[in-house]
Amino acid sequence: AMHNTAGAGEGHAGRRQRAEYKLAAGVHALALVLMELQPGTDAAQILAADALYQLDRIEEAYRLLLCMEHTSLHPPVLARLALLQLHRSFLYDSNQLLKKLIHCGDTSCLRSLFCVATPKDKALLETHCHSASKRILQSQQEESAIREAVAYLSIAIMASGGQAIDSLLERARCYALLGQRKTAIFDFTAILKKHPDHVQALSGRGLTYLMLNQQKESTQDLVAALQVDAEEVTLSILSLEDKARKLVCEWLQQHCRATLSTLLSTDPAPCREEGLREAFLTGGTLLKIDCRDPRWHLLYVDTLLARGEVKAAGAHLRQLFGQDPRNVAAKARWGVVESWQQNYTVAAKCLSGVSEKEPSVLDFLLTLIKPLQRSRLAQVAFQEATSICECGQWERALALLTVAVRAGGSAKPRHLRQRVVCLAHLGLHERAVSDMDQVMCSHQTGEGSGEESRVWVEDLCRRGHSLLLCSRDESALHDFSQALELDLDRALWCVDAGPGRSRLAQAFLHLALQHYGEQQLDKAWHLTESGLRVDSSNTELRRLKARIKREGSGSCFVH
């Protein structure tokens, strides 16, 4: 049975070979007729040469084309002569003919030749052209030499049907050297479509994107390449010029930090091992590239803390920066370590170093601390700040209060109110208003129990005072008016604490006069009413009220 099957297979192959032979013979006969009808026509002679080649009459095909070479330098003739010389093992002659073809600048004729060329001859041409390009690149780096190498590589790629991975890779690198970066990316991408984990194509495309200043694409490719072969990618980055190497390292660090932040937002510390694998790999690569840069060490420490390896993180910090580091960023990491060890007073002081200068760093570091530890840290930071406020050390207190505020917890409004006090002493009134806006959002409503109403009134007056100091009088007086209506006695007590009744009454008068001049009598009336609640003896407010009453007699707002 096996013998019969093999025989059947051989019979099929034989029949196909005979059919191809007959077809080639027919084409040859037709070509001879055309040559007689149209003597000296290149097309008919090329057709005859192709038919002779397929009939394995190599010498006849060569002689026919050789006669044509003397009368015609057309690329199709040069291409076929080059292939035949390669078939006949005359490598030097073949190469000289390929050079002529390349200098003609038209290799498109190869497509028709490859339709008739045997797989063996196409493979020979691919290997020969790739080797020729390597010899050129090894001996010369001038632009003309690189362009010649590109031409050889293009022929190799065409001969392979676009499958020559090594030639595609080499041509992409040549295009990058020539400044044709988008074309280089096209070749790298062609490789990656069939071989997604090709480390040289990934790193090559990533570094080409670097030259185009496309950060996202460059980083994605380099990180993917690192996961395939970190050592090779590291060597590629080290081979870059200083400026490019620093930029790619900065991009890798930013990507790694973004990945850590995203991970910690969904998977609080200690995170799962698989989520941190990429961060450890990228951080380790950065340390191999430049172990002197403290930022890479801090990234490694952050990754250890994210995994919950507090002892290892502390040991690395101590080894690089000492027990009491001067580096503010390193000291802040000590704050995280101390929080894990429940030394909250030390932790708060360490973290306060970055709280005002780099709030985003503080926010990130707080995500490395467990929620219960953060809550306790906020309490201790608030207590420390309160005691420092009594000594008038407002800047130190502000830094600690920022730790308390950003650490969050149920007491956040109280922490914000205390920070407003610090900000007012330091003249940072816009920030004070922003803090009070957050406090006001924490209130469900201005009504409720007596205690809730009292706090609401106090907060309105605090924000109103800060708005006055920012010269935002209309908004400020709106807050004071609301407070005066809710609880007059408590509001006046707050006004006495600042800004004072006389000053506030003058502010009400000034704005009321402005609205009166614009004939907005309703607004002017309500402002004079509020002003008189603050200072009933203010004669100018009384006169303005009487004037408004006369002019608006009969209107619904006069009572």
**Is 527 part of any domain?**
yes
**Is 554 part of any domain?**
yes
Q: Which of 448, 486, 558 lies closest to 464, judged by CA?
A: 486
**Is 532 part of any domain?**
yes
Sign of the dihedral through C-alpha 379, 381, 382, 383: positive
**Is 550 part of any domain?**
yes
Determine if residue 74 is left, alpha or beta; phi over 0 gives left, psi from -120 to 50 gives alpha, anything else beta.
Answer: beta
Query: In the 8-state DSSP scheme, what is residue 268?
Result: P
Are 107 and 154 a contacting pair, CB within 8 Å?
A: yes
**Is 217 part of any domain?**
no
- Within 10 angstroms of residue 202's Cβ, the number of other Cβ atoms is 27
Contacts of residues 137-143 at CB distance under 8 Å and 24 or more positions apart, as own/partner, are 137/170, 137/174, 141/177, 143/178
Domain that holds residue 537: 500-559
Q: How many whole angstroms separate alpha carbon 248 and alpha carbon 207?
A: 8
Q: What is the pLDDT of residue 28?
A: 62
Q: How many whole angstroms separate alpha carbon 159 and alpha carbon 126?
A: 6
- Predicted confidence band of residue 6 (pLDDT cuts 50, 70, 90): very low
SS3 of residue 43 by DSSP:
helix
SS3 of residue 310 by DSSP:
helix
- Within 10 angstroms of residue 309's Cβ, the number of other Cβ atoms is 15
**Is 71 part of any domain?**
no
- Domain total of the chain: 1
What's the predicted TM-score (pTM) here?
0.80
What tens digit of pLDDT does each residue of 244-286 get? 999 999 999 999 999 999 999 888 888 888 889 999 999 999 9
Are 281 and 230 a contacting pair, CB within 8 Å?
A: yes
Cα angle 212-217-222, degrees, rounded to a multiple of 5: 100
Name every residue whose Cβ is closer than 8 Å to that of residue 342 and which is 6 or more positions away in sequence.
373, 376
What tens digit of pLDDT does each residue of 331-370 get? 999 999 999 999 999 999 999 999 999 999 999 999 999 9
Are 401 and 361 a contacting pair, CB within 8 Å?
A: no
- Predicted confidence band of residue 554 (pLDDT cuts 50, 70, 90): low
What tens digit of pLDDT does each residue of 129-150 get? 999 999 999 988 899 999 999 9
Are 443 and 456 a contacting pair, CB within 8 Å?
A: yes
